[in-house]
Chains A and B, each alone.
Chain A
């Protein structure tokens, strides 16, 4: 048996990969080429194109003089778009506001999301086996629901006259806000009420995704660690804090990065529920990019904002990787 196995194992050694038969090579190239072409033309080239456009005052409604209408009526302006971000213009002011709002949204969403999903995941995981699947399904349902439908639904819930939320607040004898989504003077702790309303709707839809990931991670922690802690006299809180949480660190990193990435790029609830209002208090970068590119047809300006968003996402991701990188050596 061993005599047969050894030559076979030699054949699939990684460093001998070049010994593939020609038909195998063609199969590999043939399989990979379409997906590579797809990636190239619909992801990589558009991204590269944004890096080119951001240096032009480019509008697709103007016929330029050069390649793809670059030049002439769509002139190269160097860093002009980036300098304009600091100018005393309405467009620049809206960009700066959207920049701040985007960061505010991402910073608020992450801790709230974690504060809900992690304890809830522990609770679901500790519930009866038969109920686990039920809870997972219930909490995951909003994730697979259309974002537009969810935004419209929450728009109705927050409606100042017929909204369910105001009705409930009135029922318990309290006075609801005059308008959740449209009052520019309603600001609590520096956060506009409209932004709070959008955060509520966004987290409602999004938390199920992180919940399922945390549940999976919790199930992956071997019981031996917990049993050992119990033997050492740890109570439930100590077990969670000293054992579970450190072992969830890689999952936490993934959840933090993904949640931050997605919340920096949120568009639908802002577009549908508030349209950036009131007084641009919920204008965010992606909506600003969309408006400038497709509503006002200022593609060069929109591309420059896209670069800023790209850098913002990059910086947030790097910071999170640095902060949550596991140096403790805790593995299981």
Chain B
């Protein structure tokens, strides 16, 4: 019996050793410290691996940039690998534990501080590559600050992720309702008045929503913008906990409830993120004004080329100064496990901070530039994506959304369902605000 066991163990050992990847001993990396440029430029060809998600537009942008970088840097070879979005996130989780992730990663800025940087998975940007002060000069604050945690910069942004201040508009429905186009809304009430004219109810069911902000992102960004516009703040004094049990939060939620209950421009039972989401319902003609980021316009042009629509600026909710919170969008970071930090940062700086590279990235991925210079001289970008023009005036008014502890949980598990239930009449605006306040703070406490 023992002999048999030995045979089995030997065979398994042989099989496994054949399957196993050859590994070499790695020098320990102190993740939170900046990678010091200790080695001279490489004489031999260095290969660095870059990972991203496989959205075709983003993939094309990265392909073009990588080709350009390799042409300028013959000693550095870039191996670019993409994964389907969910698989990409799963791959990151498992590979980071095993230390097998790529040298350069494309990550969403809002994830950086609470998850990857805090977790010690990323390298700090070396000062000779870029300091935070230098980065602030060239990038907008909102996208940059997602990469800046506890006085350290962990990456550089590609895009300003904007979900605020703009909306898709169905030009045919404007025409049908006799509303002049493009709309000149001075106040949000004027927008609602037009939305009411375009709302259609057939057989007791809403067939066309006049104004629809109901998405996981839409409701949350609307709530945060409404709070900021009133001069409020959704963070508590310690900067980590939240304060949603405020008059500003309650007023904003009540405003959203009124859109559904009083103005009846959206049916929050029929139009939800799960069924009839803005990004799909708008392009099937079931929505007149859909609150969503300008990225949806870019996708719409590709997926619905015959559909007549535009992307326009919407007024502030309370008529005052425009203020809103913005996610930090996609950018590039360097893994703590990389063996080639110099080359990796050279690549990151090339693709994010150089003007020509940013033009290639933003125009091919359909994103809003994070570089101020591109917005100040927008001709190259607008030539390719003219629909993002209304967003340019908004960008200086945006502030980084902040460290939300768990961004997705806050957005999709706490704020969205509670505000939606308030709009549906299941709970009151006040109850929603209190519930959001309790649950967000419990989330912070649990994380600590």
Contact = CB atoms under 8 A, between A and B. Distances in A.
Interface stretch (A128-136, A241-249, A294-302, A315-323): A294-302
B97 A60 contact: yes
B289 interface: no
Interface in A53-98: 59-63, 68-69, 73, 84, 88-91, 94
Contact of B421 (A36, A161, A279): A279
B442 A274 contact: no
B258 interface: no
Given A182-B269, A184-B426, A279 B417 contact: yes
Contacts, number: 128
Nearest to B275: A182
Contacts of B205: 160-161, 178
Interface string B28-39: 000100000000
Contacts of B90: 294
A277 interface: yes
Contacts of A183: 269, 424
Nearest to A62: B119
Interface string B252-289: 00000000000000010110111110000000001000
Given A29-B11, A161-B207, A296-B409, A63 B119 contact: yes
Contacts of B92: 60
A89 B442 contact: yes
Nearest to A84: B446
Interface string B1-42: 000100110011001100000000000000100000000000
Interface string A167-207: 00010000100110111110000000000000000000000
A196 to B, nearest CB: 15
Interface size class of B (residues with CB under 8 A): 35 or more
B15 A280 contact: no
A14 interface: no
Interface in B176-207: 203-205, 207
A275 interface: yes
A37 interface: yes
Contacts of B12: 33, 36-37
Contacts of A62: 115, 118-121
B93 A297 contact: yes
B245 interface: no
B408 A274 contact: no
A159 interface: yes
A33 B11 CA distance: 7
B393 interface: no
A185 to B, nearest CB: 7
Interface in A218-243: none
- By DSSP majority rule, is chain A's interface helix, strand, loop, or mixed? loop
B203 A160 contact: no
Contact of A179 (B86, B269, B408, B421): B269
A278 interface: yes
Contacts of B424: 183-185, 278
Nearest to B114: A61
Given A60-B93, A275-B274, A37 B118 contact: no
B430 interface: no
B439 A90 contact: yes
A155 interface: yes
Interface residues of A, number: 48
B206 to A, nearest CB: 8
A309 B283 CA distance: 40
Nearest to A186: B269
Given A161-B205, A182-B275, A33 B119 contact: no
A294 B86 contact: yes
B94 A60 contact: yes
A201 to B, nearest CB: 14
B274 A277 contact: yes
Contacts of A33: 8, 11-12, 15
A7 interface: no
A90 B96 contact: no
Contacts of B426: 184-185, 279
Given A33-B12, A37-B16, A160-B205, A68 B270 contact: no
A121 B119 CA distance: 57
A30 interface: yes
Contact of B120 (A63, A182, A185): A63
Contacts of A296: 406, 408-409, 413
20 contacts: A25-B7, A59-B115, A60-B94, A61-B93, A61-B96, A62-B119, A62-B120, A63-B31, A69-B97, A84-B446, A90-B414, A90-B442, A90-B443, A91-B442, A160-B205, A161-B276, A184-B426, A291-B413, A294-B90, A299-B93
Given A184-B421, A294-B90, 6 more contacts: A29-B11, A37-B12, A178-B267, A178-B270, A275-B273, A296-B408
Interface of B: 4, 7-8, 11-12, 15-16, 31, 86, 89-90, 92-94, 96-97, 115-116, 118-121, 203-205, 207, 267, 269-270, 272-276, 286, 336, 406, 408-409, 413-414, 417, 420-421, 424, 426, 438-439, 442-443, 446
